[in-house]
Structure 1
Amino acid sequence: MVMSTSPPQAIGEQRVTFHHLNWQAYQQILQALPQSRAARITYDRGILEITMPLEDHEFATRLIELFIRILVIELGLKIKTLGSTTLVRADLNRSPEPDNAYYIQNQPLVAGRQVDLQHDPPPDLVVEIDITHTDIDKLELYASLGVPELWRYNGREWRIYQLQGRQYQEVEASPTFPTVPKSKLYEFLALAQQDEVNADQQLRAWVRSQ
């Protein structure tokens, strides 16, 4: 008998999912959790997903955050970082906690104060790391919030989505950083696996040379 083997699937997160929870039950669970928790909580119209990030997830999250910050600084842009702030939209029955969220184009509108999504625009860019399966439809979720640009990374592939009307369309270049090819993120992450300082220096040098 010939047995085939396949490489083990990367485990980037541990997830627990609950179904058929109303908004009040979600709020009770959210308030019962400690403020210093590491878990991400996403609520989407009755589905509650609790995600505990593991090493591969956190590496990608922190390094993609560094990638974005380097580009913003070197390109002379502005930024307001929300990180994993809970994006509460009770009117939509949705409340995600992204891995990273940023105001860049609309940074002047929210600079120096707390964001109120009932009156302020949504973040310009949201990043989601999903190395393992998620029951939440992230494209529909963030499209409903009106987030103009969504990045998704599954540990291997970086996908960029631009909101067009009420739906996302996958695009090959980031609308926020149109001159940066997708290959640059892959190179940056590969270098950072061996030396994060060198990856930082190499990316800055590349941006300055353009």
Structure 2
Amino acid sequence: MVTSTPHIQANVALGEKRVTLRGLDWQAYQQIYQALPQTRAARLTYDRGALEITMPLEDHEFAVRLIELFIRILVVERGLKIKTLGSTILDREDLDRGAEPDNAYYIQNQPLVMGKTIDLQTDPPPDLVVEVDITHSDIDKLNLCANLGIPEFWRYNGKIWRIYQLENAVYQEVETSPTFPMVAKAKLYEFLAQAKLDEVDAEITLRRWLQTLAR
């Protein structure tokens, strides 16, 4: 149910289009979520009465897909395991919060959830969540993901990649990924810059570099 008349704020920019609705309770959020087609491009983020609907544009999707490829290459070349959730909804009614992140992954906890449909009431949260926010978001996603218990959070604004590690229920910005400590930030920047010209060459270059580390 809608507890008050929602205030709607629109933000149009290069990376994403956003609309924020305020004054919604959990039931209203769920009704909107259920009413939208599951094949939609728009993503929802709900935080204690505020619902942000994001429509990704080209720059956003380029970064999301290439960061996902970057992560998968790291996982494969380092001999790790992965369960990809993509933008699967991460809902916690008890926290009055929910999100469809750009990408979410189980890596360290992959053995605990392999072959399962995730239930955050009983399963651990994803080990790593990635958000691309080229335009301003009205939702404090750091606070939201910290409350969901996400151990590692990446945020990319089209220029800067920030890595956050959860410590005592609060995110601390760190310089290297706890999941991939061998990879400096410069590698992602190099990968994205090369991928803008040739995605195949970017993948080959990154794989070759990682293989030299294993020798």
The normalised TM-score by structure 2 is: 0.93
2:155 aligned with 1:152: yes
2:145 aligned with 1:142: yes
The normalised TM-score by structure 1 is: 0.95
Q: Tell me which residue corresponds to 1:79.
A: 82
Distance 2:181 2:13 in 1: 30
Distance 2:109 2:27 in 1: 32
2:175 aligned with 1:189: no
Q: Deviations over 1:6-46 (max 9, x none)?
A: xxx96100000011110111111111111111000111100
2:213 aligned with 1:199: no
Q: Tell me which residue corresponds to 2:52.
A: 49
Name which of 87, 104, 107 aligns with 1:104.
107
Q: Deviations over 1:38-89 (max 9, x none)?
A: 0001111000000000000000000000000000000000000000000010
Tell me the SS of whatever aligns to 2:144: helix
Q: Which runs of 4+ in 1 moved over 2 A?
A: none
Distance 2:117 2:165 in 1: 25
- Unaligned residue ranges in structure 2 (runs of 5+): 1-11
Distance 1:35 1:130 in 2: 22
2:103 aligned with 1:122: no
Tell me the SS of whatever aligns to 1:168: strand
- Following superposition, the deviation at residue 163 of structure 1 comes to 0.1
**In the alignment, residue 28 of structure 1 is paired with which amino acid?**
Q
Tell me the SS of whatever aligns to 1:88: strand
**In the alignment, residue 160 of structure 1 is paired with which amino acid?**
I
Q: Deviations over 1:86-121 (max 9, x none)?
A: 001011000100000000000000001111100010
- Aligned pair count reads 202
| RMSD over aligned Cα atoms | 1.0
**In the alignment, residue 141 of structure 2 is paired with which amino acid?**
K
| % identity of equivalent residues | 73
* Alpha-carbon spacing, 1:206–1:10, altered in 2? closer, same or farther (3 Å): farther
Tell me the SS of whatever aligns to 1:179: coil
2:80 aligned with 1:90: no
Q: Tell me which residue corresponds to 1:5.
A: none
